[in-house]
Structure 1
Amino acid sequence: MLYRHGDVLVQSVERLPSAHPRPGATLARGEITGHSHRFSDAQRVQLYQAGAELYVEVLADHAALIHEEHHTFTLPRGVYKVWMQREYSPEAIRRVLD
């Protein structure tokens, strides 16, 4: 299953790779607006970092992903890979800025 929350993509994966726990419940902060893609209840999720890759494990039956400019949606219990949308320009492939 693949979910899109603005410029943040979240994909269900079968298992968590070797990764280190990361504190907090924020997937991405907006560089321009200051808004953030975050879970409303940090106790329902655990973030993990595996090199440059970000993962989230939903520990409860569901967890709400929120942002000031996007609809809230809930992710069911499971493990997910998270990445930011990228865009092409002649200079480079770069992350979309929010």
Structure 2
Amino acid sequence: MTEIFAQGDLLIERVPDVAPSGTLAETADGVPLVLLEGEATGHCHAIRERVTLFRDDDLARDIPAGLYVGHLLIASAYARVTHEEHAPLTLPRGTYRVRRQRELGPRDARVLAD
């Protein structure tokens, strides 16, 4: 079963480990890495522990355009995602795929015929 974590409009899915590829962003201890910034409030989902964020669109072909943020590699015991309006989210060591959650509208609902 896939482990999925959510914090506001951020969705984080644990995935099998992969070597970082594509565009890389690494942080130093104490320097926040902003995963996503709120459109209305400007509040951000950030991590202060040392992590690696990489973006490789080939690893996210199944995610709708515009929703993929990147892959997050946590090499230490854990990393904590913080946000001013949500409880902190603690992620254990591993690799995660990070994306925006989108709000569904009436046109997104479908009825399946038998």
Aligning the two structures, in what range does the TM-score lie when normalised by the shorter sequence? 0.7 to 0.9
- Residues 6-59 of structure 1: CA distance to partner in whole angstroms, max 9, x if unpaired? 110000000236432135521100111010001122x2x110011363110112
For residues 75 and 26 of structure 2, what CA distance do their matches in structure 1 show?
A: 14
- Alignment RMSD (CA, Å): 2.1
Report the residue type matching 2:83 in the other structure.
Answer: H
Q: Which residue pairs with 1:22 in the alignment?
A: 25
Structure 2 gap ranges (5+): 28-32, 58-65, 109-114
Structure 1 gap ranges (5+): 93-98
Tell me if the contact between 1:59 and 1:77 (Cα under 8 Å) persists in the aligned partners: yes
| Deviation beyond 4 Å, 4+ runs, structure 1 | none
Question: Higher Cα Rg: structure 1 or 2?
Answer: 2
1:63 counterpart = 2:69: no
For residues 56 and 43 of structure 2, what CA distance do their matches in structure 1 show?
A: 24
Tell me if the contact between 1:4 and 1:10 (Cα under 8 Å) persists in the aligned partners: yes
What is the TM-score normalised by the length of structure 2?
0.69
1:77 counterpart = 2:83: no
What is the TM-score normalised by the length of structure 1?
0.79
Instruction: Give the paired residue count.
Output: 90
Sequence identity (%): 33
For residues 52 and 38 of structure 2, what CA distance do their matches in structure 1 show?
A: 21
Q: Which residue pairs with 1:10 in the alignment?
A: 12
Q: Give SS of 1:63's match.
A: strand
1:39 counterpart = 2:47: yes
For residues 19 and 12 of structure 1, what CA distance do their matches in structure 2 show?
A: 19
CA distance 1:7–1:91, shift in 2 (3 Å)? same
